[in-house]
Amino acid sequence: MARWGGPSVGTMRKAMVLYQVDAFATKPFSGNPAAVAVLDKPAPEPFMQAVASEMNLSETAFVTPAADGFGLRWFTPVSEVDLCGHATLASAHVLWETGGADSEKTLAFHTLSGRLEAWRSGDRIEMDFPAEPAEPCDTTIDLLGAVGGDIEEAGRNRLDYIVLLASEERVRQLKPDLDAVSRLGTRGLIVTARSSVSDCDFISRYFAPQFGVAEDPVTGSTHCCLGPYWAERLGRDELTGYQASARGGFVHVRTLGERVVLGGGAVSTARIELLVDG
């Protein structure tokens, strides 16, 4: 299990072990990479932020023991965030792979977004998350500037803007104005369209430059919005989304009222010893 303050390395230096995991992936070097550290006790926020900046991934997760499960916090290279799907999936994967938790039992995580749960379902990890439905909103000049026009619909939830584009091709080819995205006043911008292929129902991309993530490879938390959004339009509660980033990844979504179940695979790709002052 990864520990903060492991064996001594040199004078007053300690080895902090982290695992790098590709989440929403079935093979290495796809999906969304996250770093996971399982700590004996909570670490100071400046320290966690410094580690996340050093790892320079879209999220680094810090897991600590709790009375009923585990505490879980997520940091981008520049800021803490209050909801992250792929780093939660990665955290569950690491706990099970390292023997830190019983893989036959449901994991409970205590987070800034409340209690989240994760469990194994065949070759997937599934997670119970809060639904984050978007309310329709006007297509503002700022949104048009960020996307470059051609918006079919726009909406907003507490985290992000979501815009519907005319086609899958338009989503894949989009080159947003990232400076304009960073001025929207939200965590980020979701762009989406109905899929034209049979292996998924919708596609999306996600941009959050103000949090140090120009384009996120595969974003679990945006599917808390995308699930209800497409369930309403397609008339089905169980859907598969594909996030069409350069790495790409599938997210299985089941909408259950005020909750959503997100599912996907995970692959460990690295074990890292980070030397820190003890």
Q: Mind listing the pLDDT tens digit for each residue in 112-150?
A: 999 999 999 999 999 999 999 999 999 999 999 999 988
Q: State yes or no: pLDDT of 77 exceeds 60.
A: yes
| Catalytic residue (one of 54, 59, 104, 153) | 59
d(CA 165, CA 191): 7
Beta bridge partners of 208: 213
Q: Are 52 and 76 in contact (CB under 8 A)?
A: yes
The average pLDDT across 61-71 equals 96
Cα Rg of the chain, angstroms:
19
The reported pTM is 0.92
Tokens of 190: 């979701």
The average pLDDT across 247-252 equals 97
d(CA 16, CA 277): 10
d(CA 191, CA 177): 13
Indicate the length of the chain as a whole number.
278
Q: Is 59 a catalytic residue?
A: yes
Tokens of 39: 């700590």
Q: Give the confidence band of 6 by pLDDT, cuts at 50, 70, 90.
A: very low
**Is 149 or 259 the better-scoring residue by pLDDT?**
259
Q: State yes or no: pLDDT of 66 exceeds 80.
A: yes
Q: State yes or no: pLDDT of 11 exceeds 90.
A: no
The average pLDDT across 251-274 equals 97
CB atoms within 10 A of CB 128: 18
The pLDDT value recorded for residue 12 is 65
Mean of the per-residue pLDDT values for the chain? Answer: 94
Closest CA to 262 of 27, 84, 103, 64: 84
d(CA 78, CA 48): 11
Q: Are 62 and 72 in contact (CB under 8 A)?
A: yes
Closest CA to 58 of 75, 39, 82: 75
The pLDDT value recorded for residue 149 is 82
Q: Pairing between strand 249-256 and 107-111?
A: unpaired
DSSP 62-90: EEEEETTEEEEEEE-SS-EES--HHHHHH
The average pLDDT across 107-114 equals 97
Q: State yes or no: pLDDT of 9 exceeds 70.
A: no
Q: Give the confidence band of 278 by pLDDT, cuts at 50, 70, 90.
A: low
The average pLDDT across 61-77 equals 97
Q: Are 31 and 217 in contact (CB under 8 A)?
A: yes
21 burial via Cβ count (<10 Å: 0-12, 13-18, 19+): buried
The average pLDDT across 36-53 equals 97
Q: Are 87 and 74 in contact (CB under 8 A)?
A: yes
Q: State yes or no: pLDDT of 4 exceeds 90.
A: no
**Cα–Cα distance list, 4 to 40, 122, 130, 170 (Å):** 7, 32, 30, 45
